[in-house]
Structure formats: C-alpha cells, structure tokens
C-alpha cells in the first residue's frame, strides 16, 4: 500500500526547511494581524469555531463541518474546477456549522486562495485543513484568515504537539487535534486537546474503517468536543455517531460529489431534526 502520509509529510517538511523566513518574524506578523482583525468590523473578526459546533449540536443534534476539497491522492479529481465561494454558500444554506478547506496544493489541489474565497462568501468559521508541521504553518493559517487549524498527532512528536496547541490558542485559532487510534488519543489528551477529531481514514493507506469512531467514542472524557471524520455517507451514519457521543462530523467527498450540495448537508441532519 502507498504510504500517503509519509510522502505528504516529507514534502511539507522539505518545504518548511527550504523556507528561510524567520519563525519569530512570522509569529509577530500573525499577532499583529490578529490585533488588526479584532479591531476591525465584526465581519473580519475571528469566528468562533467551537461555539458554532456547540450551537449546531444543540439545534440539530449534530454539527456538520462541510469540506471543500478538489481532489484526493487516493480518489483523484473530485471537482477540480469548483468555485470555493459558491460551494461555501451552498454548505451554509444546507445548515453546515463550519467549513473545512484543503489548502494543500501538491496532493489535494487546494490553495490559500480557496480558503480566502470560501470564508469571504459566508459567515461560517473555517478550518484550515492541511498538514501542519511547524509554527510557520499555524501562523500562516491565522494570516490567511482561518479560524481553526488541524494538528495531526501522527505527524507530530509530543513536544511539537504541545507547542503548536499553545501557539494556535495564542493566535485565537481553534486547534482540531486529529487521532486515528487509542494511543494517539492518549497523546492528544495529555497535550491538553479539547477539540478532538477521530479520522476513520488511515492516512498511510487511505483505507476507511467506518466503525473506528464508534469504537473510540466512549473513550472521550467529559469536556472534550469530539468530531468524527471520513467515511460518513448519510443520515444513518450521523445518528450512530451522535449516539456514540460525537458533537460533529466532518464530511468531504460525499458533499463535494453531490449534485445538490445544500440538500446533501441538510440530508445528513434530517434524521436528527
């Protein structure tokens, strides 16, 4: 099986090593940008990612994080010519609580511009979905306007995970900490994660185990907001995951491939209305 995660991380780490920007300078720029956003009108201030998930769960039994993704390393093109703004509006109309936008270009066909255009088109908080390997990536998420950032436990050692969690919070980004099994969950909790995603897709093989989130749901302690990711195809899946204790689902391929994306989001929530 192809080792997708290893290849992707190798590419991102090489790019980080080749980037000669001083990290302290980037951190300072991110802080200044955040201050400017807070001082600006509400339309440009940071959006409450976690609060939006909690509201979605309270109102409809489950919150949906709808993903904008052009392609996948394992599936190829999904919709390479999609318009991020149009898709964002469709998702918002359908009842999504938040957006996830792939910004990785080499493997997923995404970009910073995709995130910027999606966020500008709607009122939803936005997760930068990418492979974070260092502080520059967290700062870049803030600078491009993201409201949340993905931290993958399998991609980080314990020290880096703790440091990036702290930096994200310092920059008013919600850190979504992604795990794939019980040992990774233990590491995430030890680092202080409060928003935890269980990815049912093995990032090394890209195979999906659609029962993984159900198995791990009972291991989430009180106070942790749990998100199920990947392999979610319909309202029945959403009901099962809600019963297992999840507050939100992150859904990409099912929605991107839908001919009516607004209805597809609403359909995920229909059984919980």
Cα–Cα distance between 264 and 224 in angstroms, integer? 28
Bridge partners (DSSP) of residue 152 are 178
DSSP sequence for 52-105 = HHHHHHHHHSSEEEEEE-SEETTTEES-TT--HHHHHHHHHHHT-SEEEEE--S
Q: Which two tokens stand for residue 270?
A: 């229909």
| Helix count and strand count (H, E) for the chain | 12, 10
- Which candidate, 258, 261, 257, places its Cα nearest to that of 87? 261
d(CA 33, CA 35): 5
Number of Cβ within a 10 Å radius of residue 107: 17
Which residues, in sequence order, are bridge partners of residue 64? 249
CB 148 within 8 A of CB 177: no
Which sequence positions are flagged as catalytic? 67, 69, 129, 178, 199, 229-230
**Phi first, then psi: what are they for 259, rounded to 5°?**
-75, -25
Residue 269: how many CB atoms within 10 A of its CB?
Answer: 22
Kindly calculate the radius of gyration of the chain based on its CA atoms and give it in whole angstroms: 17
């Amino acid at each position: 099986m192809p080792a997708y995660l290893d290849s992707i991380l190798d590419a991102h780490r090489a790019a980080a090593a080749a980037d000669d920007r001083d990290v302290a300078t980037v951190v300072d720029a991110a802080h200044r940008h955040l201050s400017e956003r807070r001082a600006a009108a509400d339309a440009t201030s940071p959006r409450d990612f976690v609060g939006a998930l909690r509201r979605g769960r309270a109102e409809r039994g489950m919150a949906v994080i709808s993903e904008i993704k052009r392609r996948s390393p394992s599936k190829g093109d999904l919709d390479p010519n999609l318009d991020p703004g149009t898709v964002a509006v469709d998702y918002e109309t359908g009842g999504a609580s938040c957006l996830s936008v792939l910004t990785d270009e080499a493997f997923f066909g995404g970009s910073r511009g995709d995130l910027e255009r999606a966020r500008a088109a709607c009122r939803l908080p936005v997760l930068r979905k990418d492979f974070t390997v260092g502080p520059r990536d967290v700062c870049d998420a803030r600078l491009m306007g993201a409201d949340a950032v993905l931290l993958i436990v399998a991609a980080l050692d314990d020290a880096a995970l703790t440091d990036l969690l702290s930096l994200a919070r310092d920059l008013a980004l919600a850190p979504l900490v992604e795990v794939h099994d019980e040992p990774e969950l233990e590491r995430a909790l030890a680092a202080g994660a409060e928003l935890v995603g269980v990815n049912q897709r093995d990032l090394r093989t890209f195979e999906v185990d659609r029962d993984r989130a159900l198995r791990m749901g009972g291991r989430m302690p009180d106070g942790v907001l749990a998100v199920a990711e990947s392999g979610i195809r319909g309202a029945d899946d959403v009901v099962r995951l809600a019963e297992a204790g999840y507050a939100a689902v992150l859904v990409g391929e099912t929605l991107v491939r839908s001919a009516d994306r607004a209805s597809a989001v609403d359909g995920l929530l229909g059984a919980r209305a």
